[in-house]
Amino acid sequence: MNVICGLGFLLFLQPARAQHDWGALDAALESKKKLLGNNVVLMLWKNDSLVYKKEMGEFNAKTQAPIASCSKWLTAALVLKLVDEGVVSLDDKVARYIPEFEKYFKGYITLRHCLSHMTGIEDEGGLVKKLLKRRKFSSLEEEVNDFASRDIRANTGTDFWYGNIGLNIAGRVLEVATKKRFDILVKTKLFNPLGMRRTTFTDLNGNPVNPSGGARSTAEDYMKFLAMILNKGKHNGVPFLSEESINELMSIQTTPELIKYAPAPAKGYNYALGSWVVEEKDGKATALASPGLFGSWPMVDFCRGYAYLVFVKSLLGEERADAHREIKSLIDEQIPCMQ
């Protein structure tokens, strides 16, 4: 097994560029280097190998950085891993694990609602306000109990409001169900098996673990996760997530009329579980993405059969979303849809 993992690792270091003409992509990345914050890594995985890698500035595929909302996809995958193991179900009511939700008459909220931002719980406002409020909590348990006590903004399942509430509730449910702290659980169940050795949810400053946005990772690590999703749950040819769970991760949970709040770069997209539906066909997601506030954009295009990751170091603004879409269009020119 160690030999197999070692060979898989070497594939990350040997991008097979000969099959495609990446000249336009090289030029686009150079022209957008400043816009993307100068320190950038782009990696592209197709089938079972890395076909493109570019590192710019003082940043490489092994550099660890905060990934903000890219964390949501990891948390959703962890939930599905425990679904596969029979520990929880997506349609379990949160109150089964956290009695506070029954106490405050929110016993109808399920894990599925949490992963799709449709709990209906009143959001705490803008980013700065959220960060300040989180500082007063000593644990994820304390934070989630506070969520339980809040007012309901809309009926559960009828209103999508993008934020941190649902994913953090899901993370706390997993803590209760397994009797393990979230950051330890995700390391044991997800990161270690996938060889993501430089990815962690543990906060170095001692703040409560944040399943919705608190991970730190590297481009190399996160690409291992994306490759597993692309390959229908297999890692190095060995089943890791069931195909049923991958199908759940691809399942569209929203309709446009349900979406009451979405960040500007995501407007017009539907949502699955922990990721945005960037492209869809006949009611099914064909491309998913889980971009983070800090500018990193992980994506899996099932139609074209590739996983794509732009990993950046600096805090970026919303206007950079167009740059990511333009980069994807250049890749799509080289890799046609297989469906």
Predicted local distance difference test score (pLDDT) of residue 130: 59
Predicted local distance difference test score (pLDDT) of residue 220: 97
With beta carbons less than 8 A apart as the criterion, state whether 165 and 145 touch. no
With beta carbons less than 8 A apart as the criterion, state whether 275 and 289 touch. yes
Q: Which two tokens stand for residue 306?
A: 């590739």
Give the residue with greater pLDDT, 197 vs 134. Answer: 197
Confidence grade of residue 264 (pLDDT, cut at 50, 70, 90): confident
Residue with tokens 């996809």: 73
Predicted local distance difference test score (pLDDT) of residue 12: 45
Name the packing angle between helices 140-149 and 165-178 (round to 10°): 120
pTM given for the model: 0.92
Q: Around Cβ 213, how many Cβ atoms within 10 Å?
A: 23
Q: What share of the chain is helix, strand, coil (3-state, %, to 5)?
A: 40, 15, 40
Per-residue model confidence as pLDDT tens digits over 98-108: 999 999 999 99
Alpha-carbon distances, residue 45 vs 56, 84, 299 (angstroms) = 18, 26, 10
Query: Residue 318 pLDDT > 70, yes or no?
Result: no
Confidence grade of residue 94 (pLDDT, cut at 50, 70, 90): very high
Q: Which two tokens stand for residue 189?
A: 């169940």
